[in-house]
A and B are shown apart, each in its own frame.
Chain A
Amino acid sequence: MPGQTPILGIRYPLLGETIDPAAFANFANDVNSAVAANQTLASDALNRKMCLIPALIPQSFTVNVETSITFTNTSLAQRPFRDNDNMFNAGSPTQLTINTAGIYMIISRDMAVNAFTTMVSIRNAIFRNGVLVFAERRNEQDGSTSSMLETIEALVRCEAGDIITNRILWNGTGGPATMSQLGYPHLEVFRVAPLF
Chain B
Amino acid sequence: MNFTDVLRLPCPSDGDYAALSVYMQRLAEEIEAKILAQRALISDETNPPTAIWIGPNIAIGPFSTASIVELSTPGQGFGVFTNYTVNGNLPQVSATKGLTFNEAGVWHFGFCITSVASGAVTNDSNRLFRVQIAKGTSGGTQQIELFGRHINAEATIATDFLTGQAVFNVDTETAKYGINTVFTHTNAASNVSIPVNGVYYWATRIGSTDSIEVL
Query: Do A14 and B25 touch (CB < 8 A)?
Result: yes
CB neighbours of B165 from chain A (8 A): 153-154
Helix, strand, loop or mixed for chain B's interface? mixed
User: Which of chain B's residues 130-183 have a Cβ closer than 8 Å to chain A?
Assistant: 149, 151-154, 156, 158-163, 165
CB neighbours of B200 from chain A (8 A): 133-134, 154
CB neighbours of B58 from chain A (8 A): none
CB neighbours of A3 from chain B (8 A): 25
* A41-B46 contact given A137-B151, A152-B163, CB 8 Å threshold: yes
Asked if B31 is at the interface of the complex by the 8 Å CB criterion, the answer is yes
Closest to A191 in B: B46
User: Which of chain A's residues 30-65 have a Cβ closer than 8 Å to chain B?
Assistant: 30-31, 34-35, 38, 41-42, 44-45
Closest to B159 in A: A137
Complex alpha-carbon distance, A192 and B204, angstroms: 9
Closest to A24 in B: B24
Partner pick for B158 among A35, A121, A194, CB 8 A cutoff: A121
| Interface size bracket, A side | 35 or more
Binary contact readout A126-142 vs B (1 if CB under 8 angstroms, 0 otherwise): 00000001111111100
Query: Do B110 and A154 touch (CB < 8 A)?
Result: yes
* A19-B20 contact given A140-B154, A155-B202, CB 8 Å threshold: yes
Asked if A79 is at the interface of the complex by the 8 Å CB criterion, the answer is no
Query: Do A136 and B162 touch (CB < 8 A)?
Result: yes
Asked if B38 is at the interface of the complex by the 8 Å CB criterion, the answer is yes
Asked if B59 is at the interface of the complex by the 8 Å CB criterion, the answer is no
CB neighbours of B152 from chain A (8 A): 139-140
For the complex formed, measure the closest distance between the CB of B82 and the CB atoms of chain A, giving whole angstroms.
Answer: 6
Query: Do B112 and A134 touch (CB < 8 A)?
Result: yes
CB neighbours of A125 from chain B (8 A): 161
Query: Do B50 and A27 touch (CB < 8 A)?
Result: no
Query: Do A34 and B31 touch (CB < 8 A)?
Result: yes
Asked if A92 is at the interface of the complex by the 8 Å CB criterion, the answer is no
Query: Do B39 and A196 touch (CB < 8 A)?
Result: no
Closest 4 CB pairs of A and B: A134-B112, A155-B202, A135-B161, A10-B28
10 contacts between A and B (CB under 8 A): A5-B29, A14-B25, A15-B21, A17-B21, A42-B38, A45-B46, A103-B50, A103-B204, A136-B162, A139-B154
